[in-house]
Amino acid sequence: MSIKVRYFASLKELVGRSEDQLPFVGNLTVADVLKQANKNKVIPNNILAAVNMEYVAFETVVKDGDEVAFFPPVTGG
Amino acid sequence: MSIKVRYFASLKELVGRSEDQLPFVGNLTVADVLKQANKNKVIPNNILAAVNMEYVAFETVVKDGDEVAFFPPVTGG
Amino acid sequence: MKIKIIDTLFDPWQEIQQYQLSIPEVKGKFGATSVFVGTMRDFNDGDNVKGMNLEHYPGMTEKQLQKIVEQAMQQWHILDALVVHRVGDIFPDEPIVLVAIWSSHRGDAFDTSRYIMERLKSKAPFWKKEILVDDAERWVGKNTDGYKK
Amino acid sequence: MKIKIIDTLFDPWQEIQQYQLSIPEVKGKFGATSVFVGTMRDFNDGDNVKGMNLEHYPGMTEKQLQKIVEQAMQQWHILDALVVHRVGDIFPDEPIVLVAIWSSHRGDAFDTSRYIMERLKSKAPFWKKEILVDDAERWVGKNTDGYKK
């Protein structure tokens, strides 16, 4: 029972790792996941979130087994 | 002293020739040139005109040595 | 800038490759290339078409295309442009027109290629005569506006 | 439809040629091909850039690109689409992205290629890190809106 948390690009460098495994404790939003995994870090407020590779709002509730990803605005193309 | 008149595409087929040489008599507009060269023909009213390979209005006055061209709306590309 | 009228089959992608090799001065400077290729279909206005003859006004065609590209260059920042247009006998699946634009930024490239195509379709002296499957011939009456949806 | 993420140099014009050969079902049906190629420049934001590393989110990138193309297909009539995007180490004058659209009419092809590029730039999870001439590295902050002039 766990949630996989992933970080990309400049956010990955900022938090100093690319992945976390959080125990699933129920009733957590995406915002809670980010906060819980990065207690002492100031996270830039333009960060985007995805659950299972789809964009989501930070209020979205996370389910067991979800992959939650955080990253800065995209700059491809 | 003459004006070269050219016809293209469906207009060329309609008038039955691709070129005329008109004597330059002075003070003729593009519309006059078309009328004079095609006395008994009904010319479609969507025909375009060019003098020396630039689009012109039918009121434009023609000069000696000009190449005057008439053609239907263009359909390239 | 290059404007080319040709009466034989051409490969638009090869034309672009070759032209790009001939303009090393834009290397590293262009971030955007916008290309349009018009190809002959085997149908038009509800009929099957087996071929086409494309007439033009030699001299005026080049002059007008040159003018169109220059007008575009006054409105947008572009680095280079290539326009190739076929004349003569053309068959389905063969390319008719190629417009390629090189610029620093994508907005300019997109806007310019579209502008040149629209102007070309309304101003460059080319005329299409279609040959239908029963060998009947007909002149194409009018180009439609490509900005409308 | 084809979406491809690659980590090696590609030739956009060859990619188009090859893909077009693989879709004979659109032969004679498409009258318009609109192509956009994004290429790495040797400058950005006033600085000389000697290279770039392009990171992506494997899986999500493909999923989002797929979605973008499907959204385009709901708005415009298109026959086929090819999207190729480079990841990893990239150097000036190398292509980064290719979008090619085949449709019957030019309006649809132009609108779709531009729409896909804009959506890709704002939604597909790719991130550019530039390496400047003095070896300093910096993340590109934000893509600009390509519809603005």
Tens of pLDDT, residue by residue over D114-144, are 999 999 999 999 999 999 999 999 999 888 8
| Cα distance between residue D133 and residue D47, in whole Å | 8
Number of H helices, E strands in chain D: 3, 9
The confidence score (pLDDT) of residue D149 equals 57
Tokens of D99: 């979008």
Bridge pairing between strands C43-44 and D32-39: unpaired
User: In chain C, which residues touch D (CB < 8 A)?
Assistant: 11-14, 16-17, 27-43, 76, 92-93, 104-107, 109-111, 113-114, 117, 144, 146-149
One pLDDT digit (tens) per residue for chain A, 77 residues: 799 999 999 999 999 999 999 999 988 999 999 999 999 899 999 999 999 999 999 999 999 999 999 999 999 99
Tell me the nearest-neighbour CA distance from C28 into chain B, angstroms.
31
Question: Nearest by CB to A75, which of D60, D64, D143?
Answer: D143
B69-to-A63, B77, C139, D50, D143 alpha-carbon distances in Å: 74, 21, 19, 54, 50
Tell me the nearest-neighbour CA distance from D28 into chain A, angstroms.
31
Chains in contact with B, where contact means 3 or more Cβ–Cβ distances below 8 Å, are C
User: Hey, are the CB atoms on C27 and D93 less than 8 Å from each other?
Assistant: yes
* Per-domain residue ranges of chain D: 2-135
CATH number at residue A54: 3.10.20.30
Single-letter residue type at D111? D
The answer to whether position A76 is within a domain reads no
User: Hey, are the CB atoms on D127 and A53 less than 8 Å from each other?
Assistant: no
Residue in this structure with the two tokens 């638009």, named with its chain if needed: C12
Helices (H), chain A: 9-15, 30-37
Tell which of C40, C41, C57 to mutate to test the B interface (max B CBs under 10 Å): C57
Reported as type and span, the H/E element at residue C98 is strand C95-103
The answer to whether position B9 is within a domain reads yes
Single-letter residue type at A23? P
D92-to-A34, C31, C104, D95, D120 alpha-carbon distances in Å: 36, 9, 13, 8, 21
Whose CA is closest to C10, among C40, C33, C34?
Answer: C40
The answer to whether position B77 is within a domain reads no
Question: Nearest by CB to C127, which of B53, B54, B75?
Answer: B75
Higher-scoring residue by pLDDT: D19, D148: D19
| Cα distance between residue B25 and residue B2, in whole Å | 8
Q: Which range marks the domain in which residue A50 is found? A: 2-71
pLDDT band at C149 (very low <50, low <70, confident <90, very high): low
Residue in this structure with the two tokens 């690659």, named with its chain if needed: D6
| Cα distance between residue A8 and residue D125, in whole Å | 9
The answer to whether position B34 is within a domain reads yes
The confidence score (pLDDT) of residue D144 equals 83
| Cα distance between residue D112 and residue D1, in whole Å | 13
The answer to whether position B76 is within a domain reads no
Q: What is the ipTM of this complex?
A: 0.95
CATH architecture of D2-135: Alpha-Beta Complex (3.90)
pLDDT band at C143 (very low <50, low <70, confident <90, very high): confident
Domain count, chain A: 1
